[in-house]
Amino acid sequence: MSNPSNEWPLWEVFIRGQHGLSHRHVGSLHAPDAEMAILNARDVYTRRNEGVSIWVVPAAEITASSPSKKGPLYEPSHSKVYRHPTFFDIPDEVGAM
Amino acid sequence: MYAQMIKSESTDDDPEKLAAFQARIDANEKIEPKDWMPQGYRKTLIRQIGQHAHSEIVGQLPEGNWITRAPTLERKAILLAKVQDEAGHGLYLYCAAETLGVTRDELTEMLNDGRMKYSSIFNYPTLTWADMGAVGWLVDGAAIMNQVPLQRTSFGPYSRAMIRVCKEESFHQRQGYDIMMRMAEGTPAQKRMAQDALNRFWQPALMMFGPSDKDSVHSAQSMAWKIKMNTNDELRQKFVDQTVPQAEYLGLTVPDDNLRWNEDTGHYEFSEPDWSEFFDVIQGNGPCNTDRLEARNAAWNDGAWVRDGMHAHAQKKQQTKVAAQ
């Protein structure tokens, strides 16, 4: 029986697809170190040519915004409707803009 | 299904919070791991996703049985790819379960010591090559019935895992049906083998959806939480309606004397499977329960030195790196 404190750490996996888009989070996996995490990610998340580049990040190193502070965190952008182009009425005669 | 007889845990949380949570689910919002959730929702999902993951992992065994004896190199490569997918599906699902606060090792140990279950279907033996066809066609076919609606489940990580799984699942069913087609149009002996596989897997496949709705007492809460999307009988009917014409195309006979098309309902009528056999298999008395658990325990115990060794190697590298800085 393996020692429970020896459980391999969790890594978050990000993959960039073929079409030049950003790396995208695809899931997570356990691995003893970064090198093995990349190899495991290759086997678990790219069995069908899903990507051309893999990033792995220790899950413990990720800082996330808190769901309960969603309101105050995003409030500043809620009140600024003029940031959206649809805020402005441009006459039809001006053409596409 | 891959998760059968999941009992919904009761919950004694603050009624106000519960109502707000239910409102989010009713509005089709996804629940994410760090969001507040009722204790019962969390516990039920750990059990359900865990059982689903275990089924993927144990599900490798009946098919692994034929990798070394596949009839051609191409069939062998395909079967290997399929079994590797099952391992991947197990891993996606374990990660989803882990976001709820259970560790991978805890899940593995609960499978290995019998505290957690896996689908009853994997306690049946795969006796001939035709069984590889029947498993892909019927077992993966039944799994798809359940997994497609689960893509819309309320728990974000589970839903995302299901989306990945479903993308790959169609390959599994098609490769199974392809084996069945080849055998059904082969020699009389091959066709008999295909028929025999259908005969043995038909009832166990119907049982995958779990007991009849009239005996399935735990569905209401899970359906309200959108972690169960359809009743057992709804999915079973859908499976039969889809599968019977596929069997006819193969020229095989579904082993059920009561099977008939009902013009009025637009559905097939069929016999319920033998539920006493189902409960017996769930209790641990199926033909292969002991073998399956022994194989999982052996893999876990025999692999301990590899896990520990790699962990020690990673730590040593880390220490060297720190010392060098």
Q: B122-177: per-residue pLDDT in tens? A: 999 999 999 999 999 999 999 999 999 999 999 999 999 999 999 999 899 999 99
Which helix or strand (DSSP H or E) is residue B78 part of? Answer: helix B73-98
Is A43 at the interface with chain B, CB within 8 A?
yes
Share of chain B above pLDDT 90, in %: 90
Q: Is A29 on the interface with B (CB under 8 A)?
A: yes
pLDDT at A85 > cutoff 80: yes
Contact status of B17 with chain A (Cβ, < 8 Å):
no
Compute the distance between CA of residue A12 and CA of residue B20 in angstroms, rounded to an integer. 30
Per-residue DSSP letters for B113-172?
Answer: TTSS---GGGGS---STHHHHHIIIIIHHHHHHHHHHHTT-SBHHHHHHHHHHHHHHHHH
Identify any residues that bridge with A55 across adjacent strands, giving them in sequence order: A14
Average the pLDDT over A43-60 and give the result.
94
Contact list, A24 vs chain B (CB under 8 Å): none
The answer to whether the CB atoms of B308 and A47 lie below 8 A apart is no
Closest CA relative to residue B177, chosen from B132, B147, B242: B132
A interface mutation test: which of B85, B95, B310 has the most A CBs within 10 A? B95
Looking only at the bridges linking them, the beta strands covering B267-269 and B260-262 are antiparallel
Q: Give the tens place of pLDDT for each residue, B196-241.
A: 999 999 999 999 999 998 887 678 899 999 999 999 999 999 999 9
* Mean pLDDT, residues B320-325 taken together: 86
- B2-58, pLDDT tens digit by residue? 777 777 777 778 899 999 999 999 999 999 999 999 999 999 999 999 999 999 999
Measured in angstroms, the CA of A63 and the nearest CA of chain B are apart by 12
Query: Cβ distance B31 to B24 under 8 Å?
Result: yes
Contacts of B252 (CB under 8 A, 6+ apart): B180, B184, B191, B194, B195, B198
- Taking an 8 Å cut-off on Cβ atoms, the answer to whether A32 and B164 are in contact is no
Residue-level pLDDT at B297: 98
Specify the pLDDT at position A70.
74
Confidence bin at B324 (pLDDT 50/70/90):
confident
Q: A53 in helix, strand or coil? A: strand
pLDDT of residue B9: 73
Residues above pLDDT 90, as percent of chain A: 62
Q: Is B195 helix (H, G, I), strand (E, B) or coil?
A: helix
Q: With an 8 Å Cβ cutoff, are B95 and A48 in contact?
A: no
In this complex, the residue of A8, A28, A66 whose CB is nearest that of residue B95 is: A28
A5 pLDDT band, cuts 50/70/90, is low
**What token pair was written down for B45?**
């999902």
Of B85, B92, B104, the CB nearest to A27: B92
Among positive and negative, which fits the CA dihedral B114, B118, B124, B128? negative
Chain mean pLDDT for chain B:
95
* Cα-based torsion angle of the residue sequence A79, A80, A84, A85 in order, rounded to the nearest 10 degrees: 130
Q: DSSP 3-state assignment of B260?
A: strand
Strand A53-58 versus strand A24-30 pairing type: unpaired
Q: Which band of pLDDT confidence, cut at 50, 70 and 90, is reported for residue A2?
A: very low
Helix H or strand E encompassing B298: helix B289-302
Confidence (pTM): 0.92
- Return the pLDDT at A18: 86
Report the complex ipTM: 0.87
